[in-house]
Amino acid sequence: MKRLRRIIVLGVIASLAMTNAFAAKKQKTIKLGFNIPLTGDSPKVGESAKFAGEIIKNEINAAGGLDVKGEKYLLEFVYVDNELKSDSAINAANKLIDIDKVLASIGPEGSGRAIPAGEIYNDMKVPMITPWATNPKATEGRPFCFRACFLDPFQAPVAAKFASEQFGGKNVAIVYNLEDDYSKTLAELFKSEWESKYGKVVVFESFGQKDQDFSVQLTKVVNSAADFLYLPDYYNFVGLITSQAKDLGWTKPVMGSDSWGSADLFPLSKGAVVGAYFTTHYAAKGATGKTKEFIDKYVKTYGYVPDDVAALTYDATYIVLQAIQDAGLTGNLKKDRVAIKNAMGKIKSFAGVTGNMQFTPDGDPVKEAVVVRVTKEGEFEYVKSLKP
């Protein structure tokens, strides 16, 4: 009898375990991909994007999941390293689409990766939103591609106007990365705007992706009549360029673009960026409301202030999640991908941590830029908002 009771008890326990396991498996998941540079020349970009994603995922899952039409879904995020290379971004896109079978992709971040990878996402009818690619080609003619940031044809003119008012000079020197779509396009747009309205471009020098020594270009800058230096380059290059310019005797103003916004900028430049200005997507110093709430969560979790990549990735992810909630899910991957894309296209406005935005029919947001100044503590201090 004791043996029979033991068998019955064990049977009940096993049955309960199977029931619990079935219940655990029953909760559905939403799988999103992140096509980001976790290694390569700018790993901080990928780190910021991943950290922003983890904050969202952990917070929503801790609350039982995302509510979609009355049903809770746990979030599953797949992070794939694109090494800050275009071919790797394409490979990452194919992996996320074919192997991981994600509903949508966050990123690639920069234009040099978002442009080629965006073609894959669009052809395969998978929604992609790039948080940080400002080149128009990332979304142009691609109904499945969206973005959470302003565009370079907006950034260049407002940056030129600010520089003219702030520095007062007529001559500018520009040093840019010839091998990067973002840097090259923004340099050309700024040059065109400056020459048509404000003065002369007295130095227009380029460099390559593997370059570390900029003495040739900077010697021309220092010996020119330039009133300020414009650097539409990634933070890792800016750190080297500004420190080398300082060593060569450059003491005049420096202005940059949204690719400066990394926590690594200040240490990489050895403090040479103090007093420099750059256009970007949000200012962490002095932030209020939901922006401050996001910053506080990020600092508490990771120990440093989130850059614009983190903030934009946070917004981009929530835009996708809103579209999922609006569209609902059927369980049919192809149909759900199309439905999410359609829902993203119908979002008329979104209140993000990088500001309020309205979307054009091309999937591009209309939003303000801000100018920040680098303080002696390495913080990015708000200076001015630049309206469309």
* Confidence check: pLDDT of 20 > 60: no
Q: How far apart are CA 349 and CA 367, in angstroms?
A: 10
pLDDT digits (tens, 9 = 90+) for 50-65: 999 999 999 999 999 9
* Confidence check: pLDDT of 205 > 90: yes
Chain mean position to CA 217: 29
Q: What is the pLDDT of residue 173?
A: 98
User: Between vectors from CA 260 to CA 380 and to CA 350, what angle results, nearest 5°?
Assistant: 75
Q: What is the pLDDT of residue 25?
A: 55
Q: Residue 230: which H helix or E strand, with range? A: strand 228-231
Q: Domains of the chain: which residue ranges?
A: 30-150+287-367, 152-280
Does CATH place domain 152-280 in 3.60.10.10?
A: no
CATH of 30-150+287-367, one of 3.10.180.10, 3.40.50.2300, 3.90.1150.10, 3.90.170.10: 3.40.50.2300
Chain mean position to CA 167: 29
Look up residue 14 and give its two tokens.
Answer: 């096993």
Q: How far apart are CA 333 and CA 146, in angstroms?
A: 19
* Confidence check: pLDDT of 22 > 50: no
Mean pLDDT of 145-174: 96
Mean pLDDT of 329-337: 98
pLDDT digits (tens, 9 = 90+) for 275-327: 999 999 999 988 999 999 999 999 999 999 999 999 999 999 999 999 999 99
Chain mean position to CA 114: 11
DSSP state of 136: G
**Does this chain's domain 30-150+287-367 share its CATH topology with 152-280?**
yes
Percent of the chain scoring above 70 in pLDDT = 93
How far, in Å, are 81, 129, 139, 364 from residue 142 at the CA level? Answer: 23, 11, 5, 11
Percent of the chain scoring above 90 in pLDDT = 87
Where is pLDDT greater, at 16 or 38?
38
Q: How confident is the model at residue 19 (pLDDT cuts 50, 70, 90)?
A: very low
Residue 147 pairs in a beta bridge with 130
Q: What is the pLDDT of residue 218?
A: 98
Q: What is the pLDDT of residue 12?
A: 42
- Alpha helical stretches, state H, the chain: 2-26, 43-62, 86-94, 111-123, 152-167, 181-197, 215-222, 235-247, 265-269, 289-302, 308-327, 333-346
